[in-house]
Amino acid sequence: MTLSAAEKLRRLYDQFIADDHVLIVINADPDAIASAMAIKRLLWRKVAGVTISNINVIKRPDNLAMIRLLGVNLVHEDKIDPSRFTRFVIVDSQPNHHERFLKFNFDVVIDHHPNTSPSIPFEDIRPSYGATASMMTEYLRAAKIKPSTNLATGLFYAIKTDTSNFERQTLIEDVRAFQFLFRHINIHLAQKIERSEIPIDFLKYFKAALISMKRRKGRVYVHLGNISNPDVCVLIADFFMRVSSVTWSIISGLYAHKLIIVFRNDGIRKDAGKVAKGSFGNIGSAGGHKNMARSEIPIADLQDHVDYENEQKLLKWVIHQIEKNAGKK
């Protein structure tokens, strides 16, 4: 049975009481940040307090610009005492997507990624949507809340980002949310976030990627070695997808005792999420959408398969695993 937006909102509100102290836990990116902002607005004056906590270190320029320009207050998970909170919410992710989520017993999950969630009191998971921000816009509209300029701008930018300006998987609901938000945004603020500068220390990774990239027909493979932040893999993967002859971009790096692998493709022939899961799901976390995916493999598990300290051998192993599952076309 398909529930109306009003019924979903009612069931969401049923999870909370006035005395609740709510913690929203996110893996911070534009969609997660904006969706957390929307939850906080929905719960305004309905609970005793709401805190947003990020599990990751935020270094990506657009994320930092978004937080600063929209006035988002985040507290890193390391500084959170779960015993201070009575309700826990996760948006734009699910509990088993990252080990840091496992310390919390979530009451609410709202996400647009494929469903891997354990049973949770309130679940709203819609993999067909292009962005969780589109779902949160529906909740705001059902609550008859006119979003503030900052909230609308955040949700607007999140939809743009997660749909890659509607080039990736979307529904008409994403378009409707985008159109609704456009009436309430500050377009100059959105442009300032979008055009945020790349830190100069990231340029060395672009140089390394251009020098060391391996091409297999329309695929570009790069291993960056040790990286200061996994977001650099995302930036470089997106960069290579702008090259006319590239249909796949697979960028890896070692960070926090893990091998991070970011997948991008043109969404035409193959499913990046399925390729990621088929290639690395047996030794780490892996999954995503048709044209974007990610895998994280603990070094402790990786060393049983390849000499991870040898960058050439590691890249060859990554290529072999992917081509074994994606096919050579």
Q: Could you report the per-residue pLDDT of 84-137, keeping only the tens digit for each?
A: 999 999 999 999 888 899 999 999 999 998 888 778 999 999 999 999 999 999
Q: Is residue 235 located within the same domain as residue 170?
A: no
- Predicted pLDDT of residue 329: 41
Q: Is residue 112 located within the same domain as residue 211?
A: no
* 47, 17 contact by CB (below 8 A): yes
Q: Of 194, 210, 234, which residue constitutes the final position of a domain?
A: 194
SS (H, E, C) 124-182: EECCCCCCHHHHHHHHHHHCCCCCCHHHHHHHHHHHHHHCCCCCCCCCHHHHHHHHHHH
- Report percent pLDDT > 70 for the chain: 98
Q: What is the pTM of this model?
A: 0.72
Q: Is residue 138 located within the same domain as residue 241?
A: no
pLDDT of 36 over the 80 cut? yes
Which tokens sit at 7?
Answer: 């019924």
* 120, 104 contact by CB (below 8 A): no
Buried b (16+ CB within 10 A) or exposed e, 204-229: ebeebbeeebeeeeebbbbbbeebeb
More confident residue, 168 or 194: 194
Which domain range does residue 277 map to? 202-326
Q: Give the pLDDT band of residue 328 (cuts 50, 70, 90).
A: very low
Q: Of 166, 194, 222, which residue constitutes the final position of a domain?
A: 194
Q: Is residue 152 located within the same domain as residue 242?
A: no
Q: What is the CATH number of the domain that holds 184?
A: 3.90.1640.10
DSSP assignment of 274-297: HHHHHHHTTTSEEEE-SSEEEEEE
Q: Is residue 23 located within the same domain as residue 69?
A: yes
* 273, 290 contact by CB (below 8 A): yes
What pairing do the DSSP bridges indicate for beta strands 214-216 and 122-125?
unpaired
Rounded Cα distance between 122 and 107, Å, is 6
Q: Is residue 300 located within the same domain as residue 186?
A: no
Rounded Cα distance between 329 and 141, Å, is 45
Q: Could you report the per-residue pLDDT of 278-323, keeping only the tens digit for each?
A: 999 999 999 888 888 999 999 999 988 988 889 999 999 999 999 8
- Predicted pLDDT of residue 230: 87
Query: Among 23-27, 47-51, 59-63, 109-113, which is the least confidently predicted range?
Result: 59-63
Question: How many distinct structural domains can be found in the chain?
Answer: 2
- Predicted pLDDT of residue 56: 92
* 115, 126 contact by CB (below 8 A): no
Count of CB atoms situated within 10 Å of the CB of 61: 17
Q: Give the pLDDT band of residue 197 (cuts 50, 70, 90).
A: low
Half-sphere exposure of 225 (CA within 13 A, CB side): 11
Q: Is residue 142 located within the same domain as residue 235?
A: no
Which tokens sit at 82?
Answer: 């779960």
Cα separations in angstroms, 8 against 2, 13, 15, 110, 233: 10, 9, 11, 11, 36
How many helices, marked H, and strands, marked E, lie in the chain? Answer: 12, 12
Helix (H) or strand (E) run with residue 31 in it? helix 30-42
What pairing do the DSSP bridges indicate for beta strands 49-54 and 74-76?
parallel
Average pLDDT of span 60-73: 92
